[in-house]
Amino acid sequence: MSTERQLIDWHLHVWEPEHLGSEWGGELSRRYGGQPVGEMASFELADAARAEGGVDIAVAIGLTSPHLGMSIPNEHIAAYVEHGRGSTVGFASVDPNDAQAVDKLRYAVETLGLQGLKLSPPYQNFHPHSEAAERVFRAAAELGIPIMFHQGAVFMPRGVLEVANPVLLDKVAREYPDMKIIVAHAGQPWFTETVALMYKHRNVFADLSARFHRPWQLHNILLAAIDYKVADRILFGTDFPVLRPDFCVETLRAINDRTAGRLPPIPAELVEQILYERPLSLLGLSA
């Protein structure tokens, strides 16, 4: 294992406009000031943003949601991994409501070479305790891959918040103690619940993606992680193209300034550790 310090973006998206569908793509653009978000995550734009932000390795995240009419194909994620060979890891996505979900997951891992799985109960409209979800968890455990959950608030009006609380992952973490679990966006706004999960389960991690434009929330996430002594499992992530890596790095380094001294300071050493000392090997991955 290399001990070289590397900036890893644990949460980056690539897509084409047609992958987002009219409902998802339209709402995402509306939420972000009318920007053409569907056109902002090409391979070339992702590469440029990574270079500008000093990102050494990126984890490219897929997502499929028939419930909301969008799907970033696993083949697209695999193509980006090949495009950035040696510097990119890919996470597949399958819909647990799909009867072929397990077969699609095995194909994504065994044939396409993707190394993780992205699920989103509130976007995909499934309960983490359902039998449909359980068969996907079981397959992921057998394949030895981590699962990233979008387990938190969503921007889509037809998203399903009643299945979104991170506490619902306690059962998953209990039943699969050897499977690494990442709670995306620190489970916002329920980051205290996410920290409670991390405190209880050593196999649970959280990323900071899409939290950098909310510096007060970001600061409190880090304070909670420090208080519960789980900050060693906090991962840097951007949610590109929603936020750019350079902005996220700058914001994290300036976190104490941005909250104007109204909260206990975040140690600069921890900031640098989050940025540069969270290797892929923590979750059994390799580029």
Where are the domains positioned within the chain? Answer: 8-280
Chain centroid to Cα 87, Å, comes to 17
Question: Which of 41-45, 259-263, 270-274 shows the lowest per-residue confidence on average (mean pLDDT)?
Answer: 259-263
Categorize the per-residue pLDDT at 1 as very low, low, confident or very high, splitting at 50, 70 and 90. very low
- Mapped onto helix, strand or coil, the DSSP state of residue 198 is helix
Average pLDDT for 146-154: 98
CATH 3.20.20.140 fits 8-280, yes or no: yes
pTM: 0.97
Helix axes 245-253, 268-276, angle to 10 degrees: 150
Helix axes 245-253, 215-227, angle to 10 degrees: 60
Backbone angles phi, psi at 207, to 5 degrees: -110, 160
pLDDT in tens, 158-181: 999 999 999 999 999 999 999 999
3-state helix, strand, coil in the chain (%, to 5): 50, 15, 40
> Which residue stretches of the chain are H helix?
17-31, 43-53, 74-83, 101-110, 121-124, 131-143, 170-175, 191-200, 215-227, 245-253, 255-258, 268-276
Going by C-alpha positions, the residue among 135, 86, 136, 100 that lies closest to residue 116 is: 136
CA distance 211 to 73: 26
Give residue 3's pLDDT: 53
Above 90 in pLDDT, residue 142? yes
Q: Which amino acid is at 154?
A: V
Give residue 4's pLDDT: 75
Dihedral of CA 215/92/233/132: which sign?
Answer: positive
Above 90 in pLDDT, residue 32? no
Question: Which of 89-103, 238-252, 254-268 shows the lowest per-residue confidence on average (mean pLDDT)?
Answer: 254-268
Q: Which two tokens stand for residue 225?
A: 């992680």
Helix (H) or strand (E) holding 12: strand 8-12
Looking at the chain, the whole-number percentage of residues with pLDDT higher than 90 is: 94
CA distances (Å), origin 162, targets 68, 133, 252: 16, 16, 31
Above 50 in pLDDT, residue 102? yes
Q: Which two tokens stand for residue 43?
A: 């391979």
